[in-house]
Amino acid sequence: MFYCEGTHITTMSAKPSSDALAISADPAELQRLVVEQQAVIESLRREKTEVARLLTEQIEKFKSQVAWLTKQLFGRKSEKIDPNQPWFDALTISAVEGNPPAAPAPDLEQTVAAHTRKVTPHGRGELPANLPREIEIVDVSESEKMLPDGTLRPVIGHEDAERVAYTPGRIYVKVTRRPKYGSPVGAEENGVVIAQVPETLIPKCLADESLLAHLVVSKFADHLPLYRLENILERSGVRLTRQTTCDWILACGLGSQPLVDAIIAELFANGLVHNDDTPVDMQDYKSDKPRGQRTRETRLWVTTVSPREGPWTVFDFTTGRSADGPLRFFKKFKGRIVCDAYTVYDSLDDAYDQIELNGCWAHARRYFLKAYESSHPAEGSEFLSLIRELYKIESELIDSVLPPDATNEERAEALQKDNARRTTVRGEQSMPVLGRIRARMDELLPGTPPDSKLAKALKYADGIWPRLIAYAKDGRLPIDNNPAEQMIRPIAVGRNNWLFFGSERGGRAAANLMSLIATCKRAKVEPFAYLSDVFRRLPAAKTPEQVRALLPDVWQPA
């Protein structure tokens, strides 16, 4: 009997029976025995072929897993490949299959030309004009200032050499003084007048808004954990406990909810968003695991727009990866969501009629890249080449260049013209390439082993094909979900430093602060200057118009 991948294959015994060994003179009996033995042999041959096929598939599966693990440990994470490599792979495979291996060539000494590379000149460059200048004069001696006849040399100019200087962060105490005005003698009934205490984001907080902004930016933009920030502050004589800084950041994040709500309103008004998610651990105090392992996996969902349509970026925190979070977040959204094929997005499509889904060619390409790197390099390289043609067409669709002082009407008009041009070009150039991809998929789907990487790539693209080709029919739609993935990358860097969220409230606060910082970066606004000012002005913003005036795209320092 044979065992293969959990399948129990029982074979028939090939040993003839005692009756078969007896020599019979009856030709009909001999003919029957021959037919029986031929049937046994054919059955064994078929079973051997089936077992060999199953073993081969299992070996290929294990080889693919080993190759993937090896790449994860030692290989590069980039998905880029040399555009000429797939053609070379196909030629190599064809040559190996059609020709026996050649005898090893004798070692020969060869003279190799020296390797040359293009060197970019370093150069000093020009320092920004907005940086303050402190002039340090290096003068000659008093005797050298005098001429031989005793007269003073005139100053005819100077030579400047600029170097970048640095002073560590300045820690100081800010005193808010409120003058008190009394009443003259005899008019005490008029009492004392003093200004009201300014409303703050965190009542009775020891830290000024500038220090709060420094802590937030250092943690969520520069990815510094709080214990390092405590050491930095302690070198300046300020000692803060970890719990204190955590409470401050928590209060800043939860207090910024009006700003995040305003960003969500702008995001939803766009009608076309990108969405993706990434895991982040959170401390779980109720867990029975050993100390140091009491964490559970939570999720950050990023929703953003393409750079040409605005800076809006929002992170949403959920304790799991179920559909409850996206269903709640997108309840009031009407438009298109660019996403991958995760089943949660199907729930959105089913629950809300006003939502349509668009696919991502970067995700589809990733599956074909795995097929190219495993057991189907020829077929994988073929699809990679076709997808490269789609991206080459996109790279040639350059947006209109507008002056910085262009009005919103001019920008909207230029965007509309760009979208119309995209629709025309994609219909003429991209649709034929998509047709070739679809035809090749239909050709390969029936005969591809179901457990192979190529089969998974084909099934992925086939399952969301209407979403993948939707972009070619509308110039506004993007080809992939890369804007959302780019917004997720800083979270991966942060996870390696601050490791986890402390609680569900901490996760929501962190998501709000990440939303503000990400939107600032997309709007080309310096996050520290923005948060230092907005944390001070936000408590006084009572109306939606006042909050809208504090968003990064229109913010002006007070």
Domain map of the chain by residue range? 209-325+496-558, 360-480
In the predicted structure, residue 177 carries a pLDDT above the cut 60: yes
pLDDT of residue 202: 87
Confidence at residue 125, expressed as pLDDT on a 0 to 100 scale: 64
pLDDT tens column, 465-489: 999 999 999 888 999 999 999 998 8
What pLDDT score was predicted for residue 200? 85
- Distance, CA of 338 to CA of 274 (rounded, Å): 5
Report the percent of the chain where pLDDT is more than 70: 85
Mean pLDDT, residues 327-335: 92
Strand partners, 3: 8
Average pLDDT, the chain: 82
Cα separation, 53 vs 439, whole angstroms: 28
Q: What distance in Å separates the CA atoms of residue 8 and residue 1, rounded to the nearest whole number?
A: 8
- What is the value of pTM for the model shown? 0.74
- The pLDDT score that the predictor gives to residue 434 is 94
Chain segment 224-265, per-residue pLDDT in tens: 888 888 888 888 888 888 888 999 999 999 999 999 999 999
Q: Which of 311, 361, 368 is nearest to 341 (CA)?
A: 361
Asked whether residue 111 carries a pLDDT value surpassing 50, the answer given is: no
Residue 9: is its pLDDT beyond 60?
Answer: no
Residues 6+ apart with CB under 8 A from 228: none
Q: What is the pLDDT of residues 17-64, one digit of tens each?
A: 444 445 556 888 888 888 888 888 988 888 888 888 888 878 877 877
Strands 272-283 and 295-304: antiparallel
Record the tokens describing residue 211, joined without a space: 């220090």
80 burial via Cβ count (<10 Å: 0-12, 13-18, 19+): exposed
Question: What are 263's two structure tokens?
Answer: 């960003």
CB 527 within 8 A of CB 221: yes
Separation CA 367–CA 398 (nearest Å): 28
Q: Would you state the pLDDT for residue 457?
A: 92
